[in-house]
Every structure is written in C-alpha cells, then in structure tokens.
Amino acid sequence: MEFSELIRTGRAQAELLRGPEAPPLRGTLCVTGHHLLLSPGPQATPDLWLLLLRSVDSIEKRVAGDSGTITLRCKDLRVLQLDIEGVEATLDIARSIEALSSLESVITSYPFYHRPKGLRLGDAWHFHPPERYYKRVARETTAWRLSEVNEDFSLCPSYPRAVIVPRAVGDDALARSARFRQGGRFPVLSYHHAPSGTVLLRSSQPLTGPQKRRCAEDEELLRAVLEGAPPGTRGFIVDTRSAQTAKHARLTGGGTEAKAAYPGWKRLHRPLERGRPLQESFVRLVEACGDLEQSMDRWLSRLEGCRWLAHVKEALSTACLAAQGMEREGACILVHGAEGMDSTLLVTSLAQLILDPLSRTMAGFQELVEREWIQAGHPFQLRCAHSAFSHARPKHEAPTFLLFLDCVWQLGRQFPLSLEFGEGLLLALFEHAYASPFGTFLCNSEKERCLCEVRTRTHSLWSVLNQPKEQRKLRNPLYVLNPLAIWPSVEPQSLRLWQGLFLRWIHPSEPSEVAWEKVWQIVTDKEKTEGSQPMVSASEPQP
C-alpha cells in the first residue's frame, strides 16, 4: 500500500495554535506518510513543526466561509488547533490525517522508517534480556533455572522465549501447566527477594472450569516453589479479581486455584479495575481536567466521580500487600487475575519497586519496564491504540500502563530522594507507549515483535533515553541510594492528582519548572565545588 493514496492534498496555508503558552505558528502545512509538517516560511524561524500522525487520537473539523479549522487531540493529551485557508484543503487534510493516523499495520509504521542521527540500528536492544535478570537471580539462589521451553513461542505466545522457573520442574511439566492456564501463561518468576529468600510469581488464571479440573503438574510447580524457598515458607495467591468474579470465571472455563489442590497456598482477593471501566475512568478524568471554568465543587465532584485516584490507591495497596507478604511474612506470592497481562503486571512491577532498590535506579527501572511489561506480554498495541480523546468505541484499550506510571509518580512524591529518575522519564514513557518513533512499545508480545523483526528494523527507545543530553530531563537530581523498602502511604490524603501529566498542556506551571531548574543548579554546583577540592590538594606543593 502506498501512503500517497491516502494523502488527498499536498499542502495548504495554515495557522497552528498550541495552547495558552506557546505562540501561534503560521506557515505551509503539509501531510506526509507519517507526519504533519508546518514549515513557517523563509522569513520566520527556520524550525519545522512536526507531529507524528500516529499520536493523533481524535480529529474534529469545522468549516466557515472560505476557511476551516481542524482540532487535533493527541494521545499525549495535547490539544492543537489548525486554522486552514480553503474549505477543500481543510476537508482533504482532515481526511488524510484520519486515514493515516489510524493505520493498523505495524511494519509500515514510522519506527520502521525512523533513522535518527547518531544511533545505530540494533543498539540497546540487548540492554535488558530476561537472561540478564536470571544472572542476578542465579547469584542469589540455585532453586531457579532459565527455561527455553517457550523458544518457539508455542507454549505461550505472550511470553518471551526464556522464562525463569523452579529448577525442580522439568520442561514437560511446564508444558502441561501451560495448557492448564489461560493463554498458556504458567507461573513464572517475576522477582526474587534475596533478603527473605521468597519469590514473586505471576501467571494467568487456571482453567478449572465448572468441573473444577485440576492439573497435577501445575500443582507440582507451585509446590516446588515453596520447596525452593526457606523451610516452612507459605504461599499466597493474590487474585486481582473479587471472589465473586473469580467464581463466575469458572463458567467460561477459567477459575481459581482450589484450596485443597495447593497445600501451603492461601488465596487473597484484591479486586482491581481493568479494561473498559479503567479506560472510562481515564477519559472522564481527562474531560474534567479540560474544563478551566468549572467551580470548585464541580471539579472535586468530577475528580471523585472519575475514580482514577481510587484506582491508584487500590493498585498501590495491592502491590504493598504483595511486597509485605514477601518482606514481612516471608511468604511466596503468586499474582494473577484473568489473563495475567494487565493488573497482574501492575502489581508485580510495583511490588518490586517498593522492595528492590536496584529497580529504583535509572537502568533498573528501564529493565523493570522492559521485563515486567514489554517482555511479559502486556499488549501495548491493543491497550494503547487510543488515548482519552478518541470517539471510537473502545475495544481493548485500557490505561493500565499509565496507571502504573501514576503509581510510580506517587511513590516518587512520597520518597522524593529514592528514585533515580524523575517525572520526565515517566512522561516520556507515557508518550512513547501511545505513539512513538521507536520500536520499543510496538506490538503485543515478544512473538509479534520477532515476526515483525522489530529489533533489527527499528531503533530502541532506551538508546535515545540513555543519551547524555537527555539526562537532565529524565533524572532526579536529589537521588540518594536508599537500601530500604519504601512503603508508601495509601490514604487518600496522601495521594495527589498527577498534574504534570493530566494538566501538562492545559495548565503549564512555569514557576515550578524554573524551581526545578534551580534544584538542578544547586546539585550541580555542589558537585562542582566538591570536584574542585581534590584539584586544590593536587596543587599542594610537595615538601
């Protein structure tokens, strides 16, 4: 397919309004296969304004007289307005954007064409393979092994090739356990907590069905987990659905672990919102944030009504529960919901952030996202197909990953010195998860990424983020290694709306940015003065 077939008009004169702070931009508007360009003409600033069409979430057109207006609402919650000369041109451009922004083919998407200067293809794709995490686990315990039973993705299409499993369990048993779990997602290691010798596992629901089927190998697997841990260790299964929902799931072939079948394991139900209700919560919050004129009462009631912060609280407290189980109770924890690709990952990744100081570093957090979200098979392409503005009927969209980022932000607010990365990294991840010139968040699973040859044909987001020039935006200048677990307060009084994300374009806060700059300055000053001292001592005349 040729992009040119979808482009109805080459160019038009237009003026771009970018919100309250930025000055309007005037020039020639141009639609290309992947971008919307505005070139301000020779006399003005030479900067080209560029928008990735993939990041357009909804488009609205209006015509009046002989000109038209297009309002673009972007997936990163930006709202742009284009005033275009000519009715025909307006309609043509709108139709072109509509067609091009909703293309579903992965291999013709922009990351396959994007070739930034200074980066080489294939760089950074080998930053965070599961094998690397296994090396760390292997240093801490011998009870686990790296299995390549999923080498060809036949056992579980949404798992990576290599997974970490109990050493005592053979690949055949894994294969049977996989058949007993939805989507083949058998229990695998998510995190080994070295201080207590306990582990965090994740899986999908068991397919017990109405007949309450059992699977000996699945039971064996979980038994082996407890046997690999210090003697007497108990296990908890944190089911992210309510007991009621879990029971209902039996009717459709799913279900939950029967108590008698898994001795030593106890089930806890902590219902987390997912799917459409979560997406609607996001949509309603963004709607509420867009209204600058509303009264205090209306704002507070909308903030309450959208329930977003309630979801943040639930996610954080479930993660704390899992973390607490490991650290305080010395218990092994298995987390699953239904498919095990959404709220499950939310809980396991947050629990690690709470417990593991390494995951709070810049590199460690990137590894966590790569391992617990991307490799673990969170279906980014489905979940992030649309953001909060789309009029399209939501199918598989859900802002689970955004909820994760929000929870991380809340942790960062409560422990402002303990995360090596700052809000900048979280914002970047949000943006790139929804629309990106890089391949990192493409597709729904490792299998798909292999089919599309994402690793060899696109650039990795991590390689850009780790360039030295980006660091000031992404890092937390106040970071000090904190070897302890960070237990957040989950009381409503302690949680705040993430203004930096939800109000980023609506209500930019210049003074706090300047203040942040000042913090950086103080920190770099400090580094400088410290650095200059040894130099003085070096110039000390020798007797």
Partner 1 sequence: MEHIRTTKVEQVKLLDRFSTSNKSLTGTLYLTATHLLFIDSQQKETWILHHHIASVEKLALTTSGCPLVIQCKNFRIVHFIVPRERDCHDIYNSLLQLSKQAKYEDLYAFSYNPKQNDSERLRGWQLIDLAQEYKRMGVPNSNWQLSDANRDYKICETYPRELYVPRIASKPIIVGSSKFRSKGRFPVLSYYHQNKEAAICRCSQPLSGFSARCLEDEHLLQAISKANPANRYMYVVDTRPKLNAMANRAAGKGYENEDNYSNIRFQFVGIENIHVMRSSLQKLLEVNGTKGLSVNDFYSGLESSGWLRHIKAVMDAAIFLAKAIVVENASVLVHCSDGWDRTSQVCSLGSLLLDSYYRTIKGFMVLIEKDWISFGHKFSERCGHLDGDPKEVSPVFTQFLECVWHLTEQFPQAFEFNEAFLLQIHEHIHSCQFGNFLGNCQKEREELKLKEKTYSLWPFLLDDQKKYLNPLYKSQKFAALEPNTVSFNFKFWRNMYHQFDRTLHPRQLVCNTIMNMNEENKQLEKDIKDLESKIKQRKNEQIDGVLTKDLLHTVHPESPALKTSLCFKEQTLLPVTDALRTIEGSSPADNRYSDYADEFSKSEPAMVSVEYGVARMTC
Whose Cβ is closer to partner 1: residue 234's or residue 247's?
234
Q: Does an H or E element contain 138, and which?
A: helix 130-140
Least CB distance from residue 417 to partner 1, whole Å? Answer: 5
Contact residue for partner 1 among 251, 300, 392, 451 (CB under 8 A): 300
Terminal alpha carbon distance of the chain: 79
**Binding test (CB under 8 A) with partner 1, winner from 268, 358, 363, 382:** 268
Residues numbered 209-238 forming contacts with partner 1, rule: CB under 8 A: 234, 236
Amino acid occupying residue 263: P
Is 321:343 a contact under the CB 8 Å cutoff?
no
As measured in angstroms, the least distance from the Cβ of 144 to partner 1 is 24
Please give the single-letter amino acid code of residue 371: R
Backbone phi and psi for residue 403, each to the nearest 5 degrees, phi listed first: -60, -40
Provide the minimum distance between the beta carbon of 60 and partner 1 in the complex, in angstroms, as a whole number: 24
Count of helices and strands (H, E) across the chain: 19, 14
Structure-token pair, residue 37: 């360009």
Comparing CB distances to partner 1, the nearer of 252 and 512 is 512
How do beta strands 67-74 and 56-64 pair?
antiparallel
- Specify the residue for token string 């649309």: 386
Asked if 133 and 164 touch (Cβ cutoff 8 Å), the reply is yes
Binding mask 355-374 for partner 1 (x = CB under 8 A): --------------------
Q: Which is nearer to partner 1, 9 or 343 (CB)?
A: 343
Tell which positions 480-539 bind partner 1, by CB under 8 A.
480, 482-497, 499, 503, 507, 509, 511-512, 514-515, 518-519, 522-523, 525-526, 529-530, 532-534, 536-537, 539
Shortest separation between residue 356's beta carbon and partner 1, angstroms: 15
Residue 233 CB, shortest distance to partner 1, in Å, is 10
1 vs 536, beta carbon nearer partner 1: 536
Q: Is 321 in the site for partner 1 (CB under 8 A)?
A: yes
Using the rule CB under 8 A, which residue among 331, 334, 402, 435 binds partner 1? Answer: 331
Figure out which of the listed residues 246, 272, 309, 374 binds partner 1, where binding follows CB under 8 A: 309
When the beta carbons of 172 and 525 are compared against partner 1, the nearer one is 525
Q: Which stretch binds partner 1 (CB under 8 A): 157-165, 295-303, 344-352, 445-453?
A: 295-303
Distance of CA 119 to the CA centre of its chain: 24
Residues 52 and 35 sit within 8 Å (Cβ to Cβ):
yes
Nearer to partner 1, 127 or 299 (CB): 299
Q: Quick count: other Cβ atoms within 10 Å of Cβ 292?
A: 10
260 binds partner 1 (CB under 8 A): no
When the beta carbons of 53 and 346 are compared against partner 1, the nearer one is: 346
- Give the CA-trace dihedral at 321, 323, 327, 332, to 10 degrees: 90
> Of 314, 386, 379, nearest to 101 (Cα)?
386
Closer by beta carbon to partner 1, 23 or else 483: 483
- Chosen residue from 75, 161, 313, 447 binding partner 1 by CB under 8 A: 313
CB of residue 386 to partner 1, shortest distance in Å = 24
**How far does CA 200 lie from the centroid of its chain?**
20
| 43-102: contacts with partner 1 (CB under 8 A) | none
Q: Judged by CB under 8 A, does residue 168 bind partner 1?
A: no
Reported as half-sphere exposure (CB side, CA atoms, 13 A), residue 21 has a value of: 9
Using CA atoms, how far apart are residues 166 and 144, in angstroms rounded to an integer?
A: 4
Q: Is 417 in the site for partner 1 (CB under 8 A)?
A: yes
**Site membership for partner 1, residue 328 (CB under 8 A):** yes
Minimum CB–partner distance for residue 357 and partner 1 (Å): 11
Alpha-carbon gap, residue 91 to 8, rounded angstroms: 9
SS3 247: helix
When the beta carbons of 42 and 511 are compared against partner 1, the nearer one is 511
Which of 329, 357, 361, 466 forms a contact with partner 1 (CB under 8 A)? 329
Give the count of alpha carbons within 13 A of 237, CB side only. Answer: 30
Which residue, 331 or 443, is less far from partner 1 as judged by CB? Answer: 331
- β-pairing, 198-202 vs 235-239, is unpaired
Coil vs helix vs strand at 513: helix
Please identify, using beta-carbon distances, which residue of 1 and 538 lies nearer to partner 1. 538
Residues 6+ apart with CB under 8 A from 295: none
Task: Find the shortest distance in angstroms from Cβ 327 to partner 1.
Answer: 8
How many amino acids of this chain bind partner 1 (CB under 8 A)?
A: 81
Q: How far apart are CA 462 and CA 430, in angstroms?
A: 14
Using CB under 8 A, which of 281, 400, 418, 463 touches partner 1? 418
The residue among 425, 426, 513, 532 whose CA lies nearest residue 471 is 425
- What string marks each residue from 438 to 477 as x (binds partner 1 by CB under 8 A) or -? ----------------------------------------
| DSSP label at residue 479 | -
Nearest approach, Cβ of residue 543 and partner 1 (Å): 5
Residue 539 burial (C-beta neighbours within 10 Å; 0-12, 13-18, 19+)? exposed
With respect to partner 1, which residue has the nearer C-beta, 5 or 540? 540
Picking from 333, 356, 431, 324, the residue whose alpha carbon sits closest to that of residue 133 is 356
Residues 170-189 that bind partner 1 (CB under 8 A): none
**Which C-beta is closer to partner 1: that of 103 or that of 497?**
497
Give the interface segment with partner 1, choosing from 4-12, 223-231, 326-334, 377-385 (CB under 8 A).
Answer: 326-334
What element of type H or E holds 25?
Answer: strand 25-31
Gyration radius (Cα) of the chain, Å = 25
